[in-house]
Structure 1
Amino acid sequence: MEDSRIFDNTKIAFQLKSNRELNRARFLFNMISNATLVKIGTALTTFAIKAHLPVEGIIRATVFDHFCGGVNEDDCLEVIDAMYTKGVSSVLDYSVEGKETEAHFDGAMEKTLKIIRFSDDRNAMPIAVFKPTGFGRFGLYHKINEGKTLTETEQEEWSRVVARYDAVCKLGLEKDVEILIDAEHSWIQDAVDNLVTEMMRKYNKSTTIVYNTLQMYRHDRMDFLKSQHELGKKEGFYLGYKIVRGAYMEIEHERALEKDYPTPICESKLATDENFNASAKYILDNLSDISIFVGTHNELSSYMVMDLMREKEIKITDNRVWFGQLYGMSDNISFNLADKGYNVAKYVPFGPVKDVMPYLIRRAEENTSVAGQTGRELMLINKEKFRRKGVK
């Protein structure tokens, strides 16, 4: 098959990276591959920032610039424009985490609205994203999730959360910018799901604007997808889903053990892979009703989706099918898919250096725990360095 090994092409994968940037990437992934170094490094970094030590310059020149587009939207433009010359779009992701005040929630909404307007005249930015806990308090989602009665103050607070979602989805429809809404921990996800479904019901009447996120390491997500499909067909609205494997596995297991309930996570990595692939197949089988954003760094799943598109004669430019990876990772998937003409977008985190550090620390810890991910990155970087040495 013509593209059966396209992800091995490092010349295309790293075409935007200078030798200096390749060396930096190799240094970072070597660090991330060592769990002890990640633990020490994150502790020291957190301490240095809290103590207001002058470390932002070092962070900016290393881990920040590799995994983030910049400190604000304008700062990201160089990265956005460069990637788009190679056919890779950008999803600007305001990655400030852990803030819990109404002012911060309003600020995150305004930032998202600004990104949508910023995207309006840029073909390179057809999609925006936000995190539910960026728009509302975790404890409030949790109370709703458990079916508890809200106080009058909490009802007003929830109304403001709903209004933030609504403002972003409404502008997305007006500007024709698709809105991806990230997933959260399982014990608040039902509250998120219900609100996102409400947004789909309202704004996905003629096309797919609003996308929910399915973490397929949860064994109940296929049933949820099918039930939502039935609802969408019955009520006459389109569905959109970003499918990912998942981001909170260890926390989910620990909480299930602590609270003595069955873990929501699949029994094995293989079961998660099968669940992920099954969700992709189900959506592609029902593409007339459901759009998909395939969020994966897994090459086999990417090849599988490509094969299914070929079998079903789905055009590679069909806007109902997108592939996505994180900026700074899996360039071999992103740029080789784009080179073939597929719809590809990189999640590009941005924000003030000290505010984005919790995100970067989580990213480092996740990479450390994903078997083979950093090893694959290092192998590809070394292969490209060797290739460049051989080019006269």
Structure 2
Amino acid sequence: MATRVISPKLLQNLRCFTRSLNSSPSSITAVSPLNFAEKPPIDSTTTTSPDSIVDLDDVSKLFASIPTGKLLRSAINLHMAAIDPMVDVGMWVMRSKLMETVVLRDVVLGSIKRTFFEHFCAGEDVEEAGRAVKRIWGGAGLRGMLVYGVENANDNESCDRNLEVFLRTVESAKSLPPSSVSFIVVKITAICPIVLLERVSDLLRWEYKDPSFVLPWKLNTFPIFSDSSPFYHTLKKPDPLAPQEEHDLQLGHQRLQKICQKCLEANVPLLVDAEDTFVQPAIDYLAYSSAIMYNKDNNPIIFGTIQAYLKDAKQRLFLATEAAEKMGVSMGFKLVRGAYMSSEVRLASSLGFEPPIHKSIQETHACYNDCASFMLEKIAGGSGAVVLATHNVESGKLAAAKAHDLGIRTDNGRLQFAQLYGMSEALSFGLRNAGFIVSKYLQFGPIERLIPFLLRRAEENRGFLSSSTVDRQLMSKELKRRLKAAIP
């Protein structure tokens, strides 16, 4: 029960950390938070102006590596994604039974492939994804995070097939230019049946609420929950895992170990993505137990993911990080805002509970920036690693300025920034021009398997006030500049 017992000193540190996020600068003792308003002012503990580090004003410099044709296609796709009626119809069609009609399905998938799939995805197989890595590395100096974009496997046979693709992905990274691949990314629901992950998550929740509840199969791990974590998924005591379920869990763990070992041999870190909260405890359990095994010699090979739109994100990040330090394990995290808002709200509402996500975007910004600040302080102190995956310009600028003030070199591999392929291009290029290590999240796979990913991107980019607004404006400005330059 090592993950449930928390020392009084650790709890005191947690209270200190949480209190510092809402106190005046003079009372900050654990971490100096980044400010977090929609357009936050410079943090009082940050002496460097964020705009002096990341410059997004010079559009000719920002988009210098992008050919006009590609820039035009990108601008058109993003503008299409901002038209609500078009997005509504497209999402309805992709989710409807019309997709069961072969002819219509082929037409829809063909249209998607020539537009949004080409914009947001790196191809349909490992080879196409490899070519995308070479393009962004050679042309723009951006690294690639290779993501075989399957999820929600239902049986061991599907998991085994997915495993083979993940292993080929790691192998392919060895043949790509040095440093061009920053991470291999895996979704645990692709290599362990989702029903089993739900069962394991229920058992882990119940163990947290009742430490006398014994899980004989449980390996050593970091804290998975905080007291503010959502527990409404598990309203009654779950049955223990049946022998076959324990066997299947062991198989899932073995698949993850094979990927970890392959990444260790290739010297490419593995990033375990976050998913819905009803399976996230099991995902964290597998990620953390693997990190304990593989993150040796102050070299974080296995990274977990924290979704900052969850109310318990700060506490869970703090507890896991502190536990890792006590065990001498160098733990890396990817920080994201989160991509499962609709499903989280639907599930919580259906059960009669308040959603586990923050009530406003401002609260989510606050949580993300506090987590980023906490990890930057850790890196400055010589521990941990972080991938700041953000499309928010203010968050990116503030983090870059804070890293500068903390003396973190831009080429320090323990600090990386990341954005999705086809999104936040301006921020990616601005951070790259400032000298930081920047990656693009390169999702690949058969188009019909990537529909859930594309639906999330459609939801994220819809509306003229979406996160792609800055890109649309800056791309239009650069296209107009190029047009004027071309006309005598």
The TM-score normalised by the length of structure 2 is 0.76
- One-letter identity of the residue aligned with 1:108: N
Give the counterpart of 2:162 among 98, 108, 111: 108
Assess, with a 3 A threshold, how the Cα gap between structure 1 residues 276 and 369 changes in structure 2: closer, same or farther: farther
Equivalent position of 1:334 in the other structure: 428
Give the counterpart of 1:52 among 82, 102, 107: 102
Check if 1:141 corresponds to 2:191: no
Equivalent position of 1:199 in the other structure: 290
Equivalent position of 1:22 in the other structure: 71
Gap runs ≥5 in structure 1: none
Equivalent position of 2:39 in the other structure: none
The 2-side partners of 1:274 and 1:43 are apart by 33
Assess, with a 3 A threshold, how the Cα gap between structure 1 residues 253 and 42 changes in structure 2: closer, same or farther: closer
Check if 1:245 corresponds to 2:349: no
Once the two structures are TM-superposed, the CA of residue 105 in structure 1 deviates from its matched residue by 1.2
Once the two structures are TM-superposed, the CA of residue 180 in structure 1 deviates from its matched residue by 0.7
Tell me, yes or no, if the aligned pair for 1:205 and 1:237 is still in contact at 8 Å. yes
Tell me, yes or no, if the aligned pair for 2:294 and 2:302 is still in contact at 8 Å. yes
Once the two structures are TM-superposed, the CA of residue 228 in structure 1 deviates from its matched residue by 1.2
Equivalent position of 2:384 in the other structure: 290
Equivalent position of 2:222 in the other structure: none
CA offsets, 1:128-155, max 9 Å, x none?
A: 0011111112221111111131111111
Per mean C-alpha deviation after superposition, the further-off stretch among 255-264 and 114-123 is 255-264
Give the counterpart of 2:134 among 63, 81, 104: 81
Describe how 1:68-217 pairs up with structure 2 within 5 A: 68-85=121-138, 86-122=140-176, 123=178, 124-147=180-203, 148=238, 149-206=240-297, 207-217=299-309
Tell me, yes or no, if the aligned pair for 2:152 and 2:194 is still in contact at 8 Å. no
Gap runs ≥5 in structure 2: 1-48, 204-237
CA offsets, 1:310-340, max 9 Å, x none?
A: 1111110001001000001111011222223
Once the two structures are TM-superposed, the CA of residue 276 in structure 1 deviates from its matched residue by 0.5
Q: Secondary structure at the match of 2:422?
A: coil
Q: Secondary structure at the match of 1:185?
A: coil
Tell me, yes or no, if the aligned pair for 1:316 and 1:342 is still in contact at 8 Å. yes
Check if 1:226 corresponds to 2:318: yes
Per mean C-alpha deviation after superposition, the further-off stretch among 53-62 and 208-217 is 53-62
CA offsets, 1:266-313, max 9 Å, x none?
A: 232111111101111111111122100001001111111111111111
Tell me, yes or no, if the aligned pair for 1:12 and 1:332 is still in contact at 8 Å. no
Give the counterpart of 2:417 among 323, 327, 337: 323
Q: Secondary structure at the match of 2:123?
A: coil
Give the counterpart of 2:404 among 296, 307, 310: 310
Give the counterpart of 2:371 among 270, 274, 279: 279
- Percent identity over the alignment is 28
Equivalent position of 1:268 in the other structure: 360
The 1-side partners of 2:257 and 2:130 are apart by 27
Q: Which runs of 4+ in 1 moved over 4 A?
A: 45-49
- One-letter identity of the residue aligned with 1:35: D
CA RMSD of aligned residues (A): 2.0
The 2-side partners of 1:19 and 1:261 are apart by 49
Tell me, yes or no, if the aligned pair for 1:87 and 1:339 is still in contact at 8 Å. no
Per mean C-alpha deviation after superposition, the further-off stretch among 148-157 and 313-322 is 148-157
Once the two structures are TM-superposed, the CA of residue 257 in structure 1 deviates from its matched residue by 2.4
The 1-side partners of 2:443 and 2:375 are apart by 27
CA offsets, 1:152-183, max 9 Å, x none?
A: 11111111111111111122122110111110
Q: Secondary structure at the match of 1:186?
A: coil
Assess, with a 3 A threshold, how the Cα gap between structure 1 residues 168 and 370 changes in structure 2: closer, same or farther: farther
Q: Secondary structure at the match of 1:255?
A: helix
Q: Secondary structure at the match of 2:321?
A: helix
Once the two structures are TM-superposed, the CA of residue 48 in structure 1 deviates from its matched residue by 6.2
Specify the structure having the higher radius of gyration (Cα): 2
Assess, with a 3 A threshold, how the Cα gap between structure 1 residues 98 and 139 changes in structure 2: closer, same or farther: closer
Check if 1:373 corresponds to 2:467: yes
The 2-side partners of 1:58 and 1:184 are apart by 28
Assess, with a 3 A threshold, how the Cα gap between structure 1 residues 109 and 11 changes in structure 2: closer, same or farther: farther
Check if 1:10 corresponds to 2:59: yes
The 1-side partners of 2:198 and 2:94 are apart by 31
The TM-score normalised by the length of structure 1 is 0.94
The 1-side partners of 2:168 and 2:57 are apart by 37
Aligned pairs, number: 392
Q: Secondary structure at the match of 2:184?
A: strand
